[in-house]
Amino acid sequence: MIRRPPRSTPKPSSAASDVYKRQEDSPQALKDQLLRVMADNENLRKRTERDISAAKKYGALGLARDLLGSIDNLETAISHMPENRGDMDETLKNILIGVEMSARELASVLERHHIKKVTPEMEKFDYNLHQAMFEVPTDDVEPGMVVQVVQPGYVLHDRLLRPAMVGVSKAAVSGTPDTPDSPDTETEK
């Protein structure tokens, strides 16, 4: 009988030991991976809730902007209505009453949907809500105050739909105009 040398148990190679280590770390790695996926899902849920809330809150933004011109026209029509309606035809009186009722209904709809009119007369100029169209030199009010509203602005919740077009006060120029004797004025000889 031929004797064979006793078999020794082979030492694991470095590749085999890496696999063995990975198998040991596997539960921890899987747990870490699971926690990351759960955190990603939670972040996605929160982001989706914010997007849905913003869509509900600002969904009518485009429609509201498109309606502003019609609202301005309706307000202009009402402001040009005559005060004395006693000598008017009954049909015309009813039309004017209908226009006023439509304007009141539209104002209540705007209020219900959190669309607010910005009329900043005698308020401090705010570049976030107002657009300066011209300056008015005056000493009656401090500089930087809105003294005239050309066109009202509108805000939906906290977003600006249209800035208010305004005239802003500035300090009045004091002094007299240049005289021919002043050094700044050139005279032709």
Beta bridge partners of 160: 155
Rounded to 10 degrees, what is the CA torsion of 105, 107, 113, 115? 170
Contact 92, 118 (CB under 8 A): no
Q: List C-alpha distances in Å: 111 to 98, 107, 114, 187.
A: 20, 6, 5, 63
189 versus 20: the higher-pLDDT residue is 20
pLDDT per residue as tens digits for the range 148-171: 999 999 999 999 999 999 999 998
Structure tokens at 82: 């005559």
CA distance 138 to 174: 10
Report angle CA 138, 141, 144 to the nearest 5 degrees: 85
14 versus 162: the higher-pLDDT residue is 162
Contact 167, 147 (CB under 8 A): yes
Is the overall model pTM greater than 0.75, yes or no? no
pLDDT per residue as tens digits for the range 80-117: 888 887 888 899 889 999 999 999 999 999 999 999 99
Q: Which helix (H) or strand (E) is 17 found in, with range?
A: helix 14-58
Sign of CA dihedral 127, 115, 108, 88: positive
On the question of pLDDT at 140 being above 70, the answer is yes
Among the listed residues 134, 131, 186, the one whose alpha carbon sits nearest the alpha carbon of residue 164: 131
Strands 164-170 and 146-151: antiparallel
Q: In what order do the strands lie in the sheet with 153-156?
A: 115-118, 153-156, 159-162
Q: Which helix (H) or strand (E) is 150 found in, with range?
A: strand 146-151
